[in-house]
Structure 1
Amino acid sequence: MRSAGLDLVKWVAMATMVVDHLRYLWPQAHGLFIVGRLAFPLFCLAMAVNVARASALKPHYLGWMIAFAVLSEAPYRWLDADSQTFNIMPTLALGLLVAWGVRYRGGWMHLAGLGAVALAALYHQRLMYGLPGVLLPAACLLALQRGGPAWLLPCVLAIGGNLTNSWLRDHLLAPISLITLSAAALAIGVGRLLLRVEHSPLPAVRRWGYLFYPAHLGLFALFV
Structure 2
Amino acid sequence: MSATGRSASLDLLKWLAIVSMVGDHLRYLWVDQDWLFVTGRLAFPWFCLAIAANVARTNSIKRHYLVGFLLFSVVSELPYRWLDNGSSTLNVMPTLALGLLVAWGVHLRTRAASLLALGAVIVATLGSQWLMYGLPGVLLPAALLAALRDRRLFWLAGLLAVAGNLTNSWLLQHPLQPVSLLVMFAAFASVPLGLELLRRPWPGRVPPVGRWGWWFYPLHLVAIKVARVLL
Same fold (TM over 0.5): yes
1:129 corresponds to = 133
2:156 corresponds to = 153
2:80 corresponds to = 76
- Partners of 1:101 and 1:200 in 2: how far apart? 34
- Counterpart of 1:159, as a letter, is V
Deviation at 1:157, TM superposition (A): 0.2
- Counterpart of 1:19, as a letter, is G
1:202 paired to 2:206:
yes
Give ranges in structure 1 of 5+ residues lacking alignment.
Answer: none
- Counterpart of 1:116, as a letter, is A
- Partners of 1:39 and 1:173 in 2: how far apart? 22
1:5 corresponds to = 9
- Partners of 2:135 and 2:182 in 1: how far apart? 22
Superposed CA RMSD: 0.9
1:90 paired to 2:107:
no
- Partners of 2:202 and 2:43 in 1: how far apart? 21
Q: SS of the counterpart of 2:176?
A: coil
Deviation at 1:37, TM superposition (A): 0.2
2:148 corresponds to = 144
- Counterpart of 1:112, as a letter, is L
Matched-pair contact (CA < 8 Å) for 1:85–1:128: yes
TM-score (structure 2 length as normaliser): 0.94
1:180-217 per-position Cα deviation (integer Å, ceiling 9, x unaligned): 10000001112122211323333011111111100100
1:220 paired to 2:224:
yes
Which range moved further: 171-180 or 126-135?
171-180
Which runs of at least 4 in structure 1 moved beyond 3 Å after TM superposition?
none
- Partners of 2:8 and 2:76 in 1: how far apart? 27
Among all aligned residue pairs of Structure 1 and Structure 2, give the percentage whose two residues are the same amino acid. Answer: 55
Deviation at 1:67, TM superposition (A): 0.6
- Partners of 2:112 and 2:60 in 1: how far apart? 15
1:111-165 per-position Cα deviation (integer Å, ceiling 9, x unaligned): 11011001000000000000000000000011112332x1111000000000000
1:193 paired to 2:196:
yes
Distance 1:201 1:106, change over 3 A: closer
Give ranges in structure 2 of 5+ residues lacking alignment.
Answer: none
TM-score (structure 1 length as normaliser): 0.97
Matched-pair contact (CA < 8 Å) for 1:8–1:200: no
